């Protein structure tokens, strides 16, 4: 019996579906996570390229867009245990270039740029309020890293009862093993897995 068969036999891997009002959440596609000498590598550049296509489709369809950045105080006063595990993250301050959204995905006027200090985009932020105000029922997640901030955000999106979709070709990780393992796990328990093209086709039908 394969691993997939085990999950299927136990009732995992069902679809939660695509709701009436999606929002696009682009998690931590900032310069530091696109730099293999800092926090990048793996398939992150390709995921950014595919996200640019999905972002264009979302804009044309009027889908709300939110970007996240990891941003710490210049003096590190708000750095917590996360920065004990990964001390280098403390360079991600408001003005440091490594914390800026990559040029390929420059936020447009009216799009929300959310600052966070923890892996999940929901933890200690007003993301839920922003989504509720826009009557969003479906959160589409792209970004980096698949095994880190993307996964944490996906689990919290589900926990807040949003239908959650991971754009599989629009998320990336510095190592492909964790990327693939976490996509499998999220697809079994927390989110539907779709390509950017499949998601964009849903936008055009909305």
Distance CA 4, CA 45 (A): 29
Q: Which conformational region is residue 150 in: left (phi greater than 0), alpha (psi within -120 to 50 degrees), or beta?
A: alpha
Cis upstream peptide for 145 (omega within 30°): yes
Tens of pLDDT, residues 61-72 = 999 999 999 999
pLDDT tens over the chain, length 206 residues: 787 889 999 999 999 999 999 999 999 999 999 999 999 999 999 999 999 999 999 999 999 999 999 999 999 999 999 999 999 999 999 999 999 999 999 999 999 999 999 999 999 999 999 999 999 999 999 999 999 999 999 999 999 999 999 999 999 999 999 999 999 999 999 999 999 999 999 997 65
Q: How would CATH label the architecture of 18-205?
A: 3-Layer(aba) Sandwich (3.40)
If you compute the radius of gyration of the chain from its CA atoms, what whole number of angstroms results? 16
Domains of the chain: which residue ranges?
18-205
Distance CA 26, CA 120 (A): 12
Total residues found in the chain within this entry: 206
Please list the active-site residues. 149
Q: Name which of 166, 173, 157 is nearest 43 in CA terms.
A: 173
What pTM value is reported for the model?
0.96
- The token duo for 194 is 């779709």
């Amino acid at each position: 019996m394969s691993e997939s068969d085990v999950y299927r036999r136990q009732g995992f891997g069902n679809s939660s579906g695509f709701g009436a009002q999606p929002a696009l959440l682009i998690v931590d596609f900032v310069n530091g996570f696109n730099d293999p000498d800092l926090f990048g590598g793996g398939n992150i550049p390709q995921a950014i390229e595919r996200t640019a296509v999905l972002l264009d489709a979302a804009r044309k369809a009027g889908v709300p867009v939110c970007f996240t950045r990891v941003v710490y105080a210049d003096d590190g006063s708000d750095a917590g245990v996360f920065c004990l595990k990964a001390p280098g993250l403390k360079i991600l301050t408001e003005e440091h270039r490594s914390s800026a959204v990559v040029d390929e995905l420059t936020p447009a006027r009216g799009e929300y740029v959310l600052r966070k200090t923890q892996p999940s985009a929901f933890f200690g932020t007003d993301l839920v309020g922003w989504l509720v105000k826009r009557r969003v029922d479906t959160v589409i997640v792209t970004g980096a890293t698949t095994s880190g901030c993307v996964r944490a955000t996906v689990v919290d999106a589900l926990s807040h009862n949003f239908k959650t979709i991971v754009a599989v070709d629009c998320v990336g990780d510095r190592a492909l093993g964790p990327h693939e393992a976490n996509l499998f796990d999220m697809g079994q328990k927390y989110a539907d897995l779709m390509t950017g093209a499949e998601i964009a086709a849903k936008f055009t039908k909305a």
